[in-house]
Amino acid sequence: MKLEASHYDTVEWNPEPIKPGKMFYKPEKIYNTKIGEKKEIIFRSPCRIDVGLIDYSALKFTSENDYKAGEMSFAGDVYTWVRVKLTDSPEIIIKSERKVFVEHYAKIIRQVTDYKGGFEIETKSHNFRHVGFGSSAIMGETVAYAINELLGNPLTFRELRKIVAYNFVEESDTEKDKLFPGASTGGSFNTIKEGGFVITSTEAEKIFHEKIPEGAYFIVGTPNVQVAGPEASETDVNIMGWERHNERVNAAKSCLWILMEIMPYWVAGKYKEAGEAFYNYTLFGGKAMQMLFYRCDLAGILFELKEAGLEGGWMTSAGPSLVAFTLDERKKEKAINIFKNRKCKNITVVRPDNEGIKEFDSIK
């Protein structure tokens, strides 16, 4: 596949399905473990509500080892649970609806440490898929985080984030027992670490973190359209090329909105002003081309949300889900009704999570 933004910016991408444990990025050293008495641990991680990338023209796949796209995202109260137990046997035993995906991250952490044993891993996740909640990334990140904790934290969070993000994969559309190179910013890991509103920049670095007001609502509406990944959709590949071309101009606008409006207004508690920038970012920035791709009037729905007084709105991740943000319960109901009238197949209300990854005694 050839993604051509212009005659001087062409990316060729011809990845093949891979087996779990394939590494695109390897650290220069092996990390020494310090296993204590604790052999089992349970963590719960919030979902990630993605606003979007800072620079879509910089988005690369894991095989490229180039991470400069950045991301804005919120943590919400739709949770993923992970239980990990260390075992003496080298076998990896997994009880999960996404077994191959979990196996990948368990093998990666074992490869970069001196640990020779195995794992028993159990996961429990929500039912939302491909709606911008980061379900794939967060399950893998929580597994890696739990293993690292049991091994005595041989990797700092920055080192762990880099290894996980730089070896990010998605489930293959064509071979269900294999994986496929993905594209990651590290933003979801930064977001679930402490919750709240997070902005991630180049090389997966967290450059901004603030709490979300407890009275906030994120209303997520998913239009009834079919979505195919790049393995199955030539149109999806074409849109990435057009997006890279558009982003020659749009990335500069996005950076201005983020630096001069979103960040200072959020710190000041001026959420309507920050929300204006989210609308601008989506309607007049890099997301505009993506919204046209779905051909279901996503821009029209966003304008309707804005006219109804919702403080902020955007298309989450690569779409097609839209998010409305508000601190007013009456406006929340307005957003729900707009999504219903627009025949959205799923409508979900998410509350803020300002805690991030938490340890529990049992999976609930």
DSSP annotation string for 140-186: HHHHHHHHHHHTT--S-HHHHHHHHHHT-EEE-SS-TTSEEE----S
What three-state secondary structure class fits 302?
helix
Whether residues 129 and 226 fall in one domain: no
Q: Does any domain span residue 181?
A: yes
pLDDT, tens digit, 9 for 90 and up, residues 160-176:
999 999 999 988 777 77
Whether residues 179 and 195 fall in one domain: yes
Whether residues 197 and 225 fall in one domain: no
Q: Which amino acid is at 5?
A: A
User: What percent of the chain is predicted at pLDDT more than 90?
Assistant: 69
Q: Does any domain span residue 268?
A: yes
Structure tokens at 111: 């490869």
Distance CA 191, CA 264 (A): 19
Whether residues 222 and 156 fall in one domain: no
Residue closest to 63 by CA, chosen among 19, 23, 107: 23
Whether residues 205 and 239 fall in one domain: no
Cross-strand bridge partners of residue 217: 326
When pLDDT is averaged across residues 70-90 and rounded to a whole number, the result is: 97
Whether residues 182 and 252 fall in one domain: no
Please give the residue that has the higher pLDDT: either 199 or 128. Answer: 199
Binned at pLDDT 50, 70 and 90, residue 10 comes out as low
Distance CA 200, CA 198 (A): 6
Q: Which amino acid is at 48?
A: R
The mean pLDDT of the chain is 90
Q: Does any domain span residue 166?
A: yes
> What beta strand segments (E) does 241-320 contain?
312-315
Looking at the predicted structure, is the pLDDT value of residue 234 above 60? Answer: no
Whether residues 206 and 292 fall in one domain: no
Q: Does any domain span residue 35?
A: yes
Whether residues 94 and 181 fall in one domain: yes
When pLDDT is averaged across residues 219-247 and rounded to a whole number, the result is: 71
**Pairing mode of beta strands 92-95, 118-124:** parallel
Q: Does any domain span residue 226?
A: yes
* Domain that residue 109 falls in: 11-212+353-360
Looking at the predicted structure, is the pLDDT value of residue 110 above 90? Answer: yes
Per-residue confidence (pLDDT) for residue 281, from 0 to 100: 94
User: For the chain, first and last CA: distance in Å?
Assistant: 43
